[in-house]
Structure 1
């Protein structure tokens, strides 16, 4: 599969982000690159057939949206793993059920059933 657009999130601690994102959101590790000191400076994680990239840097930004099949179960898993819920489960007028959260390093994430 050839991709053209990649979501990117910046983290001060990429390894901690990988641990959280795989545990809380169910992403799978595709590739991890470490510098000479063994610090993760780039990673690629899979969500279904799609990929997000992580890099060293200052967290924040507009956020990333990920479509999931069972958003209620996903919400509960993320909250139990320590995500800060910023928007509770909401039925949107365009047919999606969604929630928003922040990971422990402050990046915003949105999950829902909408698949444009």
Structure 2
């Protein structure tokens, strides 16, 4: 298979996240979650057309949730359709920083059966993010056994 050409600094898969206020969302992601703004393109009227943030070399694309194009936000939908998962070096410190910055922590940091320590947080427009710290690499058998125990506990 041949190498797929990419623009400089790009990755093969990059989530494109839509917000009602992309400028405020970009600031939130940088100030609260520790992302770095790498691009901000504005329309002639000063509104944000496109923004990009990165963390640990991975990019997330940001745009306006224009209802004319069928785009929405979790707050407007009243539902979640995705959770963005990001690995960080120290999930407890990351959660403490997000808490100090006023973020809504949905689930406090806890060790997970799949080998990570994780917490869940809601951003400024309702999008759920899960920040994880990789701790160990469980075997497939251990994952299957843990999942079966979880299924029994929740009645599945």
Q: TM-score, normalised by structure 2?
A: 0.70
Structure 1 portions without partners, runs of 5+: none
Return the offset for 1:45. 0.4
CA RMSD, Structure 1 to Structure 2 (Å): 1.6
Contact preservation (8 Å) 1:82, 1:104? no
Distance 1:73 1:48 in 2: 16
Equivalent residues, number = 116
Which residue of structure 1 lines up, in the alignment, with residue 96 of structure 2?
A: 76
* 1:9 has 2:17 as partner: yes
Contact preservation (8 Å) 2:83, 2:128? yes
User: Does 1 or 2 have the higher relative contact order (CA < 8 Å, sep 6+)?
Assistant: 1
Distance 2:134 2:50 in 1: 28
Contact preservation (8 Å) 1:6, 1:51? yes
Report 1:77-116 matches (<5 A): 77-114=97-134
Contact preservation (8 Å) 1:71, 1:98? yes
* 1:32 has 2:40 as partner: yes
Distance 2:128 2:85 in 1: 9
Contact preservation (8 Å) 1:42, 1:54? yes
Return the offset for 1:2. 4.4
Q: After TM superposition, where is structure 1 displaced by more than 6 Å over at least 4 residues in a row?
A: none
Which residue of structure 1 lines up, in the alignment, with residue 53 of structure 2?
A: 45
Task: Give CA-to-partner distance per residue, 1:70-94, whole Å, 9 cap, x none.
Answer: 1001001111212111111110012
Return the offset for 1:114. 3.1
Higher Cα radius of gyration: 2
Distance 1:36 1:53 in 2: 20
